[in-house]
Amino acid sequence: MSLFDWFADRRKGQFVGKVIQETDEGDGLWGKCPECGQVVYRKDLLENANVCNNCGHHNRIDSQERINIIADPQTFQPINKDLSPIDPLGFKDRRAYADRLRESQTSTGMKDGVRTGLCKVENIPIALAVMDFRFMGGSMGSVVGEKITRLIEKATADKLPLLIVCASGGARMQEGMLSLMQMAKISGALERHREKELLYMPLLTHPTTGGVTASFAMLGDLILAEPKALIGFAGRRVIEQTLREKLPDNFQTAEYLQEHGFVDTIVPRTQLRKTLSKILKLHGNNPIY
For residue 42, is it within any domain? no
User: Which structural domain range is residue 90 located in?
Assistant: 61-282
For residue 230, is it within any domain? yes
Other C-beta atoms lying within 10 Å of the C-beta of residue 38 = 13
Angle at 125 between CA 132 and CA 109, to 5 degrees: 25
pTM check: above 0.75: yes
For residue 14, is it within any domain? no
Residue 239 sits in a domain whose CATH number is: 3.90.226.10
For residue 47, is it within any domain? no
Peptide bond into 207 cis (omega under 30): yes
For residue 134, is it within any domain? yes
- SS (HEC) of 213-279: HCCHHHCCCCCEECCCCEECCCCHHHHHHHHCCCCCCCCCEHHHHHHCCCCCEECCHHHHHHHHHHH
| pLDDT tens, residue order, the chain (289 aa) | 443 343 344 444 443 333 333 334 445 789 899 999 999 999 999 999 999 999 999 999 999 999 999 999 999 999 999 999 999 999 999 999 999 999 999 999 999 999 999 999 999 999 999 999 999 999 999 999 999 999 999 999 999 999 999 999 999 999 999 999 999 999 999 999 999 999 999 999 999 999 999 999 999 999 999 999 999 999 999 999 999 999 999 999 999 999 999 999 999 999 999 999 999 999 986 554 4
Question: Which is nearest to 81 in space by CA: 106, 53, 112, 36?
Answer: 112
For residue 12, is it within any domain? no
For residue 289, is it within any domain? no
The number of domains in the chain is 1
Yes or no: say if 66 and 110 are a contact pair by the CB < 8 Å rule: no
